[in-house]
């Protein structure tokens, strides 16, 4: 399995910030892991052109489940594929929370991504209240069951475990807690998808930094990371990529 570091720029970045993407391109002429950068939709086309034939790959941060239609402000999976991007994040907790996105909707978005040949990076994660109530594995199981299409395979799907309370806070779960959830996700996917899930990459996300990446990557069944804040600059992102490369 080729491990993966994905960077989620969220609502950050104008064309001037593509200089950071250029720096990432130059820093990784032949990376030992897969790299995906998910800039805002306004930069997808230019980012995909800038990285054509090189790492990183480019992904979007969301898509509408329909291919086209009267959906003001949305972008569809075929439109994302048309930019040259090859992946899309679906079900990020910021969208589950802010836009009340349900597992059914995320399932439809992931299916739309697959239909357009995009890798769906499906996010799951518990809130702090759910963790404190001992509901973490129940919540993750429900989100996985509801949001993962039956056609998910290791080539068209990535799961990102992102505890909501660890995103952008500087807090991370203990390594045992991360391991418990990643083992659970691996067992869940294997029971549901059988051999198609064997090499399906399970990323950890939430306050991954150059300082904690190596210890997180040493946890079994952690196949990489989904990185927010630290993906905005090459200076922070490259050490995280190098930490994953060093796990071989
Ligand atoms: P963070 O965000 O690395 O800034 O915590 C992670 C994410 O939301 O994907």
pLDDT per residue as tens digits for the range 181-222: 999 999 999 999 888 888 999 999 999 999 999 999 999 999
> Element (H or E) spanning 146, and its range?
helix 136-147
- In DSSP terms, 90 is beta-bridged to 122
Complete domains list, the chain, with CATH: 4-245 (3.20.20.70)
For the four alpha carbons of 30, 31, 36 and 41, in that order, the dihedral sign comes to negative
Query: What positions carry a catalytic annotation?
Result: 92, 162
- Give the Å distance between the CA of 69 and the centre of ligand 1: 31
Q: Is 224 in the pocket of ligand 1 (CB under 6 A)?
A: no
Alpha-carbon distances of 174 from 105, 180, 222, rounded to whole Å: 31, 10, 13
User: Which of 38, 121, 127, 206 has the most ligand 1 atoms within 8 A of CB, as the residue to mutate?
Assistant: 206
Q: Is 227 in the pocket of ligand 1 (CB under 6 A)?
A: yes
Structure tokens, 81? 């594929």
Residue of the nearest CA to atom 7 in ligand 1? 228
pLDDT for 213: 98
Q: How many Cα atoms occupy the beta-carbon half-sphere of 169 within 13 Å?
A: 13
Give, using CA atoms, the residue closest to atom 6 of ligand 1. 228
With beta carbons less than 8 A apart as the criterion, state whether 148 and 157 touch: yes
Cα-based distances in Å from 216 to 204, 206, 222? 8, 11, 7
- Which among 200, 81, 210 has a CA at the least distance from the CA of 144? 200
The alpha carbon of 52 is separated from its chain's Cα centroid by a whole number of angstroms, namely 20
| Low-confidence residues in the chain, pLDDT < 70 | none
Q: Give the model's pLDDT for residue 195.
A: 86
């Amino acid at each position: 399995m080729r491990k993966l570091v994905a960077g989620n720029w969220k609502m950050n970045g104008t064309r001037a910030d593509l200089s950071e993407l250029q720096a990432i391109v130059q820093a990784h002429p032949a990376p030992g892991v897969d790299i995906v950068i998910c800039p805002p939709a306004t930069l997808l086309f230019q980012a995909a052109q800038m990285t054509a034939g090189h790492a990183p790959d480019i992904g979007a941060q969301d898509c509408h489940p329909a291919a086209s239609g009267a959906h003001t402000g949305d972008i569809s999976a075929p439109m994302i594929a048309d930019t040259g991007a090859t992946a899309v994040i679906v079900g990020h907790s910021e969208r589950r929370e802010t836009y009340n996105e349900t597992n059914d909707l995320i399932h439809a978005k992931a299916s739309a991504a697959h239909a357009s040949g995009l890798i769906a990076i499906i996010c799951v994660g518990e809130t702090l209240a759910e963790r404190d109530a001992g509901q973490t594995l129940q919540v993750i199981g429900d989100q996985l069951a509801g949001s993962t299409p039956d056609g998910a395979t290791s080539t068209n799907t990535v799961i990102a475990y992102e505890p909501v309370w660890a995103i952008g806070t500087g807090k991370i779960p203990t390594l045992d807690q991360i391991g418990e959830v990643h083992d659970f996700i691996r067992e869940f996917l294997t029971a549901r998808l059988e051999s198609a899930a064997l090499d399906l990459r399970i990323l950890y996300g939430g306050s991954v930094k150059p300082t904690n990446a190596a210890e997180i990557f040493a946890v079994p069944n952690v196949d990489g990371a989904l990185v927010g804040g630290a993906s905005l600059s090459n200076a922070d992102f490259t050490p995280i990529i190098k930490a994953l490369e060093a796990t071989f």
